[in-house]
Amino acid sequence: MGEMEGRLFHLGTYPGALHLPNTRSTVVGDIYEILDQELIPWLDLYEGISPRDEYFRDVIPITVEGIIIPCWSYLLRQVKSNYTLIPSGDWLVSQSLLG
């Protein structure tokens, strides 16, 4: 489990995160080590990475047990008016509150 500075939004059936350095809000999530780098293009396709899509991939600092490590993350390009902020920054917690 890791944490980044930013905000998490509910986009309907899935979440989207903005990386906002030097903010007090955080986003929490799982971290996976990808041993086969050939999986990266498949993950990009799955996440919808292209100049016109809502996500992009970037390396950002993630805090894990007090240690900051650089991690690839899929992030929102922009926030749209129909996105709802998830104040806890935790997608799983927000889903458990819904029912």
**8 belongs to a structural domain:** yes
35 found inside a domain: yes
User: Other C-beta atoms within 10 Å of 49: how many?
Assistant: 16
Q: Residue 97 domain-assigned? A: no
**What is the tally of structural domains in the chain?**
1
- Checking if the pLDDT of 75 tops 70, the result is yes
pLDDT band at 97 (very low <50, low <70, confident <90, very high): low
Mean pLDDT of 67-72: 96
Please check whether residue 99 lies inside any domain of the structure. Answer: no
Would you say residue 45 lies in a domain? yes
**Domain span including residue 33:** 2-90
Q: Which of 64, 94, 83 is nearest to 18 (CA)?
A: 83
Q: pLDDT of 20-62, one tens digit each?
A: 999 999 999 999 999 999 999 999 988 888 777 888 999 999 9
Q: Which residue has the tokens 């902020």?
A: 85
Cα separation of 41 and 47, whole Å?
10
Helix (H) or strand (E) holding 3: strand 2-10
User: Averaged over 83-90, what is the pLDDT?
Assistant: 94
Q: Is residue 23 part of a domain?
A: yes
Predicted TM-score (pTM) of this structure: 0.88
Short-list 16, 20, 57, 15, CA closest to 6: 20
Which strand (E) or helix (H) includes residue 93? helix 91-98
